[in-house]
Structure 1
Amino acid sequence: MKESAIEDTPLFNQSLAKALSVIRAFSSRQRTMTLAEIAIVAQITRSSAQRIVFTLEALGYIRKHPQTRRFLLTPRALSIGCNYLEADPLVDCANPFLAALNAQCKESVALTEPDGLDMVYVSRFPSHEHVTIHVPVGKRVPMYCTGSGRAYLSARNDQESMEILKQSERKKYTPTTITDIGEILNMLEEAKARGYAYNNEELYIGDVTIASPIVNASGEAIAAVHVAAPGSRWTFAEASQKLAPLVLECARSISNAARNFD
């Protein structure tokens, strides 16, 4: 059922949807906002924003800065995402293997899960060395131009992968971002054959990722694991040669341990 159709059903709670849109409105680009700004970013009326912000403030999810009088999220907002992470069996299952991979390669290792057109970071072990790109748990990245997204798509059926690519905005984040569907499909076929996918500075300049899908008992991808290799320490060729075998082994281990997960 399409989102517009769902919103027209009598069971759909508009007030709850608006409240969630207010929480999602805050980001690294919108750390603090006025009531008017919240209404614009959340795409709701100012009167709705006023009622929702008042309620969220009373519940402790939003507060008003005493000096600037601008609204910002509180640490309590983290409880929503934390509840998911605590209830997700794949995170507990994968973490020992992710930690081992992190110790082997010394670079940032992450587990991502699909949500719509994006992959979402649900676990991350940071690099032992300096990194310039901060990617917190909960961060969303598009499937079409990331190693984790391509790894996931490579282990899904062709029709689903094509539909996701067609619906994606496919914008160029960097000069090297690949946006052509045909070219991406070729990359997915190559990833399927060798077991891993990559992203060579397509989302962030100076960032290469090597990723492999985590699959269930039916061989369908349910998540992906990747290593981020900074260009300051790795060439693409080195990352492919040295990191890919480690990522493949980690993904196989997690897949075997999680074979009964949907």
Structure 2
Amino acid sequence: MSTASRIAIVTGGSRGIGRAVASRLAAAGQDVAVVYASNDKEADAAVGEIEAAGARGIALQADVADEAAVTAAFDTVERRLGPVDVVINAAGVMALQPTRELDLAELDRQLRTNVRGTFVMAKEAARRIRPGGAIVAFSTSITRLRFPTFGAYAATKGAVEALVPILAKELGGRDVTVNAVAPGPTATELFFDGKTQQDIDRIAAMNPMNRLGTPQDIAEVVAFLAGPGRWVNGQVVFANGGAA
């Protein structure tokens, strides 16, 4: 299936995996709206990469958990680029604490972005996305790897995994796929934060590839689901180099 002339929204698209996804979709011929939380400079740089790939790009600041802000973002995309075909919700936050020490304010922050934000984006996407479109959410391989201190983060992503197959069935008959990608440890700023080199080396050795994933590794999986992967629907795709 040609993905040329498709319009995509990528949340969390200014940095890390989201930015790699935005660039990869642009390389496949999709115009991309980057939705970001606060970093104007990085968002503008992401748009520059999209345009360098020959696609149209715009940057929109919005809180993915704010329904009015998300509605306004979709309105702007439709006005400036056209009707939406692809929605990638890569926005997310993570903080690591043992359950017994968990700061409930931190739990609420993660729930707001990772769970409510996913639902708000899914709700608006379900209303607007065109036939032939794709919705891709983000989970995490931590739901299987079960690292200590990741309890709150993994719990939020468990909610995402529960939503995906239900939304896929709710959109039955509209030729819209709904999937989630669950990356393993990936070389991003979010991953490196707070880790020693010994921690990083140990985690990198946990899969048969003996390395961390890269944002580009994950972007290839997302691009497949957002383009030619039409017979994959209602699934959580684990992209982790074989970690178990």
Q: Same fold (TM over 0.5)?
A: no
Q: TM-score, normalised by structure 1?
A: 0.27
Looking at CA atoms only, which structure, 1 or 2, has the larger radius of gyration?
1
**More relative contact order, 1 or 2 (CA 8 Å, 6+ apart):** 2
Q: TM-score, normalised by structure 2?
A: 0.28
